[in-house]
Chains A and B, each alone.
Chain A
């Protein structure tokens, strides 16, 4: 099980979190139809390091940016979406 360091709640079990989508699949509200198709459906699906959007659903509810490895499951960074 992953253990994710929520910036607000500390280290919590994966069961409290939900994967939302890859970070590059976040659709701008003013995207053209072509850009929307590209953003939503053209996935790089990386085997290795990836940036993702997760949510602490059963905790504080925060939206989080995770830097995670899709083979080793190592998590290198957890940021809030506001924190750039």
Chain B
């Protein structure tokens, strides 16, 4: 692998950047591998990278139905933070956030991770009480969280509507200063390139259509490019977890829903932090290109269509404009939708399945992007050693039958609708 560097960039400039080598190979699949990872999104690629890097498992294939960067890794609002409610999720996401902080160096690929801070706004006394409680819980876990007054929020985010008749009055907020955004497709490409350099075969346009079993355990996969054998197989196909698991006869506590994101035309820098409001459920940030990125509620019903309803654009735009009135002058440039793996307690599923040799990484709801590096490292640990890492252990699939759910949203046994 040619290392990317400033000098290399200058050198490539001498030939008008026409001679860059391809970032990863396009191999034909071998008859068998030690480990197959199904799904070439961020989580699958990070899993393969860590198998090779951390555990010396070099005989690894990543099978991707489409192309690298074409799925959910590139269909989110790019927000990275670890300020969740449940302690198990806090540990998992903080483990991940620490990996984000070194990702660009580790992968030798600029993922443009920008720790610009992520702020929850509070719109009532009750909101502030909740945010204070969450902040205390986070600090007890060693995660940074600072409660901010109304005046501090006004200084941090000048374009917020702080007028007396604001639709959503701002009473204060809770900031995670280490939170921020990253360039999402660079995460997929960076992991793909780094994994490939360690000998991982990344096979695109290769859909898994069945599993082969031998002696009660999984022995390989049937694909559109033929049969491939493996000792252990990891499913990392969030959005389609239920579909792939069904090929092995499994039913999961997961429904596929849809989350939209919206991007405005680019403008000069106006918002240099991530604005979030959980009581109205709206996310606002500005990309490095200057586009304002908006997100909100999922569409709320099962669908694989990757097409959102216009109703949600109206909701999100009206909330964003109420918070930041200047946004009303912007034109929306584009929108997209990702198929989300909505688990039935709002938390991911990591670990073994009832089928020997088959492991699952899914159920990330609409919060998987921020977990990419941690999820990959923890899942690789499980695939390589056969044992769950202690941070991943609470997220086992059998927790639903044991009544040990990690109910992040308090939604009960159903997909969360916000």
A residues near B (Cβ < 8 Å) are 1-2, 13-15, 18-19, 21-22, 25, 37, 40-45, 47, 50, 52, 54, 70-73
Contacts and interface: CB of A to CB of B under 8 A. Distances in A.
B255 A45 contact: yes
Given A70-B302, A70-B305, A71-B305, A43 B252 contact: yes
A70 B256 contact: yes
A41 B400 contact: yes
B95 interface: no
B218 interface: no
Interface string B267-305: 000000000000000000000000000000000111111
A44 B307 CA distance: 21
A22 B243 CA distance: 16
Pick from B242, B303, B310, B417 the residue with the most CB of A within 10 Å. B303
Contacts of A43: 242, 251-255, 344
B413 A41 contact: yes
Contacts of B256: 45, 47, 70
A41 B344 contact: yes
Contacts of A25: 414
Given A1-B309, A14-B311, A47-B256, A42 B302 contact: no
A2 B240 CA distance: 23
A72 B305 contact: yes
Interface of B: 240, 242-243, 246, 251-256, 300-305, 307, 309-311, 344, 400-401, 413-414, 417
B400 A1 contact: no
Can you list the 4 inter-chain pairs with the closest CB atoms, starting with the nearest?
A45-B242, A19-B301, A42-B251, A41-B253
Nearest to A42: B251
Contacts of A52: 301-302
5 contacts: A14-B311, A22-B255, A22-B302, A47-B304, A70-B304
B390 to A, nearest CB: 24
Contact of B302 (A2, A14, A40, A45): A45
A40 B344 CA distance: 9
Contacts of B302: 19, 22, 45, 50, 52, 70
Contact of A14 (B240, B307, B309, B344): B309
A71 B311 CA distance: 18
Contacts of B301: 19, 52, 54
A70 B301 CA distance: 9
Given A14-B311, A43-B254, A37 B401 contact: yes
A21 B257 CA distance: 12
Given A14-B309, A19-B417, A41-B400, 8 more contacts: A18-B300, A21-B414, A40-B344, A42-B253, A43-B253, A44-B246, A47-B240, A54-B301
A2 B309 contact: yes
